[in-house]
């Protein structure tokens, strides 16, 4: 493990001052071509690369942004993260990422650590039990944009999907197929997404005069879907169709239904939310409400970059539009066939 050359080494071998080296590096001043040539040659010769840590300390900016997610193994967030990172990479920002695993404690740790590292900006999809105050406090120091999930009274930037509309689309689809009795299987209600989707569900159901046989909630995970499906199917008088809070849950519902010998969509229509990459591969393929998480990631990253560079705009809330994707898990209720 060798030692790296410093700007001082460059100055010495180019026979100029440290300041001059810095000027050619940063372009803060015009440098005579002859001199600049010498410096550049020295840089190449030594294989010099500026130490970003030192630069960060001097400039008080790290060229690093943080992104904290509840669950990187959920393809929705994986794609979101990747898209955001792509944008940051273009602008030469490094991305530090933290995966809270929906654990408020881990999330706090990440936020704190990122804060200490002098991150220039932060994107966060909060965990279910997130400490909203903590996040607001951090946002006083560091430009922050909330993505997908928001906190009550959030005054800053955010990028979210239109959950009311999305669930409206889902319910209307079921209505048009002829369903009359529907249920909702949801994720954690502490999340704004869950609350908004629930609201979208109930208002749309009311608007179409559909009977809501049950509403249950758990976590936004496959396992929770399995459990909630079990509970649902064990009720007598269960619905002919169910809206599900996200695709991971919906995949669990599919598995649960199959385990109990309930055929989808013949005996039960299932509609998910997100359209993750695997939704189309499940059996039956999942009808769902598509949200382009990569678009959300891109938008959030751009917003943050603007904010960092001080392009002063007022707090900004970007709402992305969902879309209905019809596949094999929904059909007319058997009574109509």
Partner DNA sequence: CTGAAAGCGCTAACAG
Partner DNA sequence: CTGTTAGCGCTTTCAG
Residues contributing to the site for DNA (CB under 7 A): 6-8, 16-23, 25-26, 28-32, 34-36, 48, 50-51, 54-55, 57-60
The residue (of 1 and 153) whose beta carbon lies closer to its own copies is 1
Q: Is 337 exposed, middle or buried (0-12, 13-18, 19+ CB in 10 A)?
A: exposed
Q: Pick from DNA, its own copies, none: which does 170 bind, CB < 5 to 8 A by kind?
A: none
54: which 2 tokens?
Answer: 């030192």
What does the block give as tokens for 327? 């596949």
Q: Is 236 in the site for its own copies (CB under 8 A)?
A: no
Candidates 20-28, 34-42, 89-97, 312-320 — which segment interacts with its own copies by CB under 8 A? 89-97
From 21-29, 149-157, 191-199, 279-287, give the range in contact with its own copies by CB under 8 A: 279-287
Q: How far is the CB of 103 from DNA (least distance, A)?
A: 27
Quick one: which segment of 30-38, 112-120, 128-136, 261-269 binds its own copies (CB under 8 A)? 112-120
Residue whose structure tokens are 């055929």 = 263
Whether 174 and 212 have beta carbons less than 8 Å apart is answered as no
Among its own copies, DNA, none, partner that 337 touches (CB below 5 to 8 angstroms by kind): none
d(CA 154, CA 331): 40
- Please select the residue that binds its own copies; options are 101, 214, 216, 230, rule is CB under 8 A: 101
The tokens of 41 are what?
């040659």
φ, ψ dihedrals at 103, nearest 5°: -105, 115
Which tokens is 285 given?
């393929």
Residues contacting 121, CB < 8 A, separation 6+: 65, 66, 142, 143, 144, 145, 304, 305, 307, 308
Calculate the alpha carbon distances from 254 to 1, 173, 178, 226 in Å.
53, 19, 21, 8
Indicate the DSSP class of residue 74.
S
Question: Which two three-digit tokens encode residue 318?
Answer: 């970007």
Distance CA 268, CA 222 (A): 18
The one among 32, 33, 34, 49 contacting its own copies by CB under 8 A: 49
Instruction: Single out the residue of 19, 37, 89, 315 in contact with its own copies (rule: CB under 8 A).
Output: 89
Tell me the closest approach of the beta carbon of residue 323 to its own copies, in angstroms.
20
**Smallest distance from the beta carbon of 37 to DNA, in angstroms?**
10
Find the part of the chain contacting its own copies (CB under 8 A) among 70-78, 126-134, 159-167, 203-211. Answer: 70-78
Give the footprint of its own copies on this chain (CB under 8 A): 1-2, 4, 49-54, 56-57, 62, 64, 72-73, 75, 78-79, 81-82, 85, 89, 94-99, 101, 106, 109, 112-118, 140-143, 222, 251, 254-255, 277-278, 281-284
């Amino acid at each position: 493990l060798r030692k790296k050359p410093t700007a001082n080494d460059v100055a010495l071998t180019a026979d100029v001052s440290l300041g001059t080296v810095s000027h050619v590096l940063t372009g803060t001043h015009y440098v005579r071509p002859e001199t600049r040539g010498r410096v550049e040659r020295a840089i190449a010769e030594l294989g010099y690369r500026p130490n970003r840590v030192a630069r960060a300390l001097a400039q008080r900016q790290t060229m690093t942004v943080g992104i904290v997610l509840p669950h990187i193994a959920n393809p929705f967030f994986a794609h979101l993260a990747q898209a955001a990172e792509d944008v940051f990479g273009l602008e030469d920002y490094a991305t530090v990422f933290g995966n809270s695993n929906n654990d408020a404690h881990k999330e706090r740790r990440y936020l704190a650590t990122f804060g200490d590292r002098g991150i220039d900006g932060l994107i966060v999809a909060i965990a279910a039990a997130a400490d909203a105050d903590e996040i607001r406090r951090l946002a006083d120091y560091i430009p922050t944009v909330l993505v997908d999930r928001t906190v009550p009274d959030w005054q800053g930037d955010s990028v979210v999907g239109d959950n009311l509309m999305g669930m409206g689309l889902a319910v209307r689809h079921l209505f048009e197929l002829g369903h009359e009795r529907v249920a909702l299987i949801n994720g954690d209600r502490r999340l704004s997404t869950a609350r908004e989707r629930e609201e979208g569900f109930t208002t749309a159901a009311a608007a179409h005069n559909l009977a809501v046989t049950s509403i249950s909630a758990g976590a936004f995970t496959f396992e929770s879907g399995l459990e909630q499906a079990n509970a649902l199917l064990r009720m007598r008088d269960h619905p002919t169709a169910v809206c599900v809070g996200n695709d991971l849950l919906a995949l669990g519902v599919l598995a649960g239904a199959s385990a109990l010998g309930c055929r989808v969509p013949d005996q039960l229509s299932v509609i998910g939310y997100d359209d993750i990459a695997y939704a189309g591969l499940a059996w039956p393929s999942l009808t769902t409400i598509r949200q382009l998480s990569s678009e959300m990631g891109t938008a959030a990253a751009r917003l943050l970059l603007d904010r960092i560079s001080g392009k002063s705009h007022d707090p900004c809330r970007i709402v992305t539009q969902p879309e209905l994707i019809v596949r094999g898990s929904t059909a007319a209720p058997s009574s109509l066939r």
